[in-house]
Structure 1
Amino acid sequence: MLSRTALRPIISHTSLASRRCFSGSLRLGQAAGTPAATVTVKKSSGGFRGGVIGFLIGSSLAFATSFTYLRSEWKIRDDILMEDFASLRATCQRVEARFRVLEDQLAKASKK
């Protein structure tokens, strides 16, 4: 295991390399006729906007996938139900035809 003193040159080297240092000489600022001013950095709220946008995109994708899944399931169940209705209609027509045949036979038997 490395000690902190062994890692210190690595840490200090990477932190210095990643820093940006802006410096201007006093002579350049005075020569241009502008006073030397400090630069203020405005913090952006990009994390908040990114979080909200990411949430909206994620929830939209979740809604779209669940909607398409439920729609396909609904279509499958609807097709099954329509097949059941068609078979019920065919069965009712067969029973009705059978009753007509029986009624005709009864009518013929009662005429004799």
Structure 2
Amino acid sequence: MSRITLHLLYPGSLKLVHWLPAMAVLGTAALVLLAIFVSQWFLLPLAVYLLAIWIMALASTRSIKIATLAVPASIIQLGGYGTGFLKAYFNKIILGKGRNIEEEVMMRKGK
């Protein structure tokens, strides 16, 4: 959510890379819906991605426990960043809700 606030404070600071977790969340939701309504094969990209996380974590830590914990940790991290970004974008930019930009500046300056 802070990324959107920073974008409002410093226009031009929002880059394509900041959108990637949000796109991952939307893509995952789309794949799950397609798997439910069309074919379970749409879950294959998600399975491959999670398996790749597990393999890379295993290769770098040589611990099955850590590799296994890396999978839900990555889901939580990517999902949290992506949903927070989307929520802030929708609320602050689309709806204009939340603190106004002057309040944000004052808060950031500690006043």
**If the length of structure 1 is used for normalisation, what is the TM-score?**
0.28
**If the length of structure 2 is used for normalisation, what is the TM-score?**
0.28
Which of the pair has more CA radius of gyration?
1
Higher relative contact order (CA 8 A, sep 6+): 2
